[in-house]
Amino acid sequence: MSLVLVGQGPLEQTIREQVAALGLSERVLIFRAVLNRDMPAFYALADFIVLASAFDQWGLCVNEAMAAGRPAIVSQTCGCANELVYDGINGFIVRPGDVEQLAKKMRQLAEDHALREKLARNAETTIHDWTPELFAENVLALANVCLKRNDVHAS
């Protein structure tokens, strides 16, 4: 089993050094950036996705991973937590910065094939409800609320 990290940030060099120090360079792959057109291949090869951001407006990669039938582990400060990802149903929600909890959930998904498959099936079922039509309906509803507020303030 391998760990694939996608992204970059202020701790990148520290992470690279730690991976090398632990002798894990053969098992941990780090990609600073991946083109959108290449992401489906990453999802297809993944067992699950992790978005452990301190904050993320939503986390569209979670939608994409679930569409590929992959469960997700997200931090509770990601917008998709409790909206798209349901703890123990189609993935896990962890506290941001809680490395022990994150490692425990990653290990659980990596080692428990039956659980991973169950969460993956639920992820696929969940994402079917998140259609472009639903998105459009929500955008229009938000626009209508904003227009009504403007009308009230204009009066």
> Confidence class of residue 152 from pLDDT cuts 50, 70 and 90?
low
Res. 76: pLDDT tops 80: yes
Structural domain contains residue 150? no
Distance in angstroms between the alpha carbons of the first and the last residue of the chain: 63
User: Who wins on pLDDT, 132 or 74?
Assistant: 74
Looking at the structure of the chain, the number of domains it has is: 1
* Spatial contact of 91 and 74, defined as CB atoms under 8 Å apart: yes
Structural domain contains residue 98? yes
The pTM score is 0.86
Q: What is the pLDDT of residue 1?
A: 80
Q: What is the pLDDT of residue 155?
A: 60
> Confidence class of residue 3 from pLDDT cuts 50, 70 and 90?
very high
Structural domain contains residue 20? no
Structural domain contains residue 147? no
